[in-house]
Amino acid sequence: MNLYEHTIVARQDTSPAQVKQLTEKYSKIVEKNEGEIVQTEDWGLLNLAYIIKKNKKGIYMHFKIKGPGKIIDELEKNEAIDKNLLRYMTVKVKKFNLEAKYFSKKDEYEKKEYKKEYNRD
């Protein structure tokens, strides 16, 4: 089984219901092709580095996928014709870091420990 990290960027005017539909749609494609989604992260609305199809922002979703290579072919074929998506990217990895949350804020515990350690209030 191969391991992949897959990120999609939806248009900024995509509703939360449509985002949920996109997530479910691509999850079903993975499962149909003998794969498994290990983790899904919704990174939310982020600024794009440059304007893409008249959009300055995009809604990012990130998937950690385990399965054969045909999954990625099928995903990208469907994503290429999806009007709600601006971009998609897949990276093959050797192992997943399931604890890393790429765009999450530090939790309160870490903030308190930092203040305590450096005597900052």
Which domains does the chain show, CATH number per domain? 2-119 (3.30.70.60)
Identify the CA nearest to 32 among candidates 21, 40, 24.
Answer: 24
Max CA pair span of the chain: 55
CA distance 33 to 13: 30
**CB count in 10 Å sphere of residue 38:** 15
pLDDT digits (tens, 9 = 90+) for 38-69: 999 888 899 999 999 999 999 999 999 999 98
Which residues neighbour 49 within 8 Å (Cβ) at sequence distance 6 or greater? none
Residue 32 has pLDDT above 90, yes or no: yes
Please state the pTM of the whole predicted model: 0.79
The answer on pLDDT for 116 being more than 60 is no
Mean pLDDT, rounded, of the chain: 85
The 10s digit of each residue's pLDDT in 76-85 is 999 999 999 9
d(CA 7, CA 64): 9
The 10s digit of each residue's pLDDT in 100-112 is: 677 665 554 454 5
